[in-house]
Chains A and B, each alone.
Chain A
């Protein structure tokens, strides 16, 4: 990794430069909220955003995606093209970059997913540091920092950015499009100060020690029934989550039934039919068993394979949930064993 310093006033140069070669996607305002969208104009970019409604996963696993086109007569695949185009995702927070790396474990591990891989390969990531919002608890998982998994990372030092460069491609683009200078001791000292202030500004810390043990030991705890009674099984928590990756596969036929496409669509283990098998047996028929499973998988199942929890503390689920269920609430309830909330 190497480091540079860039004057804040140069930011539009960098974005405009990138736009000559790439589709540049970044956080833009949508009413009072923010979303990741293709930038028409560098000025639309809002690096002062708190959190976007949907996470960047939608650019790697779209909500609905065509996997292949087929012909029914001979049950034949007509095309299974993997579509991707050069893009830059600009302004990702550390939690969202960490979340992508968790997705990589699933989609780029055993049985590499060619659709995900193509999009990942053709997308550059530019990160930016942030300020915690009331729902954030990335500090509790250690996902408030990120040291790899991006091409360029910008740390705001007030009038300038401390620029960390991870990839050759990132270095080349920085060199081409924007004026930067070498770092000095002052820049490094300022970065440390800014980081310390950031760490101190978190509204809360979630105590996560012994979590897998708690999840196993309290598998039959009444806490789950209380949570289940509240849960609406709406799946909003999974849809907005940057680390939820479950999907359904559906075939769609053309009007004449001769051709069609096989698509995958986002799915959620919070939906009632998610674990149903033949002859109507449902392994998770109750909403309490589904709430439990979601947390069990995120904070124990995934951990047992990849040594990380499948949550980055972005707080999106907490904002989205109408029933006030979130990792913070669930973990708290497990630890205190008391009535939820």
Chain B
């Protein structure tokens, strides 16, 4: 792409950047992990993001869908997206092959306050696909592990086959620098781990409320219960971060679709701290 085209792209936030799919990994029956490389070198090098931010994936003729970046900001040159087959765009993406070209716009939104979290303990709670944006944060913390205190990760899923990134986490379970606990609602014969909702795991957690940041992402019903547990551990409302999913069309605060109370999830979020979120109508 010429510099001229680069300028046009910069000047028009609706215009997607062409990106090539460089690898596809099947995670479960409905989820795949895609790795993309932006084709233009200048764009690829300029592309920086925060954990928790998203891109709009564009497949011309089908449409666009907002997807959280799940690779770590510290890894540059490629972008990883973990995508569930949910409808038109996500199915079209699932049908693509390595080498195909799609469009990406972004990064958009406000991510997790990584710099602020440094020097503190972190408690991450993911339900189902909620691991996608949190994985970016986890990997980023991993890459700068010495800057953080205790890191606890709670993962919940309906059943063992729906646990995303299972291999990576199975490996991590034995590490001393991460406390990782997985739990499922419906165990099968292969499962020897925890059974029950992710909230159940809080009983045994020892949280230093003066120094812990929380980060939550999962299905809408999960937030209230996990937040209740964090509040019981006396964590401050403005240290608990949640990432919201709303319908999005533009990703840049114009189309109005993603309204949550008096904010827009695309530019004011998708990551909000709980103090902000509890003051938003219809948020939790």
Contact = CB atoms under 8 A, between A and B. Distances in A.
Q: Do A and B associate with each other?
A: yes
B60 A296 contact: no
Given A68-B14, A247-B254, A262-B14, 5 more contacts: A76-B101, A111-B267, A251-B60, A264-B255, A297-B256
Contacts of A279: 86
Interface stretch (B112-120, B149-157, B222-230, B241-249): B241-249
Contact of B256 (A75, A246, A284): A246
Contact of B247 (A257, A277, A304): A277
User: Among the interface residues B12, B13, B61, B100, which one has the most CB atoms of the partner chain A within 10 A?
Assistant: B61
A296 B261 contact: yes
Nearest to A117: B11
The 6 closest A-B pairs by CB, nearest first: A246-B256, A301-B262, A111-B252, A70-B60, A278-B86, A111-B13
Interface string A234-249: 0000000000011111
B61 A284 contact: no
Contact of A269 (B58, B100, B259, B267): B259
A246 B262 contact: no
By secondary structure, the B interface counts as loop
A216 B281 contact: yes
B139 to A, nearest CB: 24
Nearest to A78: B60
A72 B58 CA distance: 11
B249 A80 contact: no
A89 B113 CA distance: 46
Contacts, number: 124
Nearest to A274: B257
A111 B60 contact: no
Interface size class on chain A is 35 or more
26 contacts: A68-B15, A75-B18, A77-B15, A80-B8, A80-B15, A106-B253, A106-B254, A111-B252, A111-B254, A114-B11, A246-B256, A249-B255, A250-B63, A251-B62, A251-B63, A253-B61, A257-B61, A267-B249, A267-B255, A269-B256, A276-B247, A278-B86, A293-B259, A297-B256, A297-B259, A297-B262
A249 B11 contact: no
Interface of B: 8, 11-16, 18, 58-64, 84, 86-87, 100-103, 220, 245-247, 249-250, 252-257, 259-263, 267, 281-282
Contacts of B261: 296, 301
Contacts of B247: 274-277, 283
A111 B249 contact: no
A264 B63 CA distance: 11
Contact of B254 (A245, A275, A276): A245
A281 B281 CA distance: 17
B18 A76 contact: yes
Contacts of B249: 247-249, 267
A177 interface: no
A174 interface: no
B282 A247 contact: no
A75 B267 contact: no
Given A111-B13, A296-B261, A72 B60 contact: yes
By secondary structure, the A interface counts as mixed
Nearest to A279: B86
A49 interface: no
Contacts of A284: 282
A296 B252 CA distance: 20
B267 to A, nearest CB: 7
A75 B59 contact: yes
B257 A75 contact: no
Interface string A253-284: 10001001010100101000011111101011
Given A260-B60, A283-B282, A77 B16 contact: yes
A207 interface: no
Contact of A110 (B15, B263, B267): B267
A290 to B, nearest CB: 11
B254 A278 contact: no
Contacts of A67: 14
A251 B61 contact: yes
A219 interface: yes
Nearest to A111: B252
B60 A283 contact: no
Contact of B262 (A250, A260, A283, A296): A296
B90 to A, nearest CB: 8
A71 interface: yes
Contact of A246 (B13, B246, B257, B281): B257
A107 interface: yes
Contacts of A172: none
B63 to A, nearest CB: 5
User: Among the interface residues B12, B86, B252, which one has the most CB atoms of the partner chain A within 10 A?
Assistant: B12
B63 A249 contact: yes
A301 B263 contact: yes
A300 interface: yes
User: Among the interface residues A76, A112, A262, A281, which one has the most CB atoms of the partner chain B within 10 A?
Assistant: A262
B3 to A, nearest CB: 16
A77 to B, nearest CB: 6
Contacts of B8: 80
Contacts of B253: 106, 109-111
Contacts of B18: 74-76
A231 B213 CA distance: 44
B12 A75 contact: no
Contact of B101 (A75, A114, A260): A75
B60 A75 contact: yes
A179 interface: no
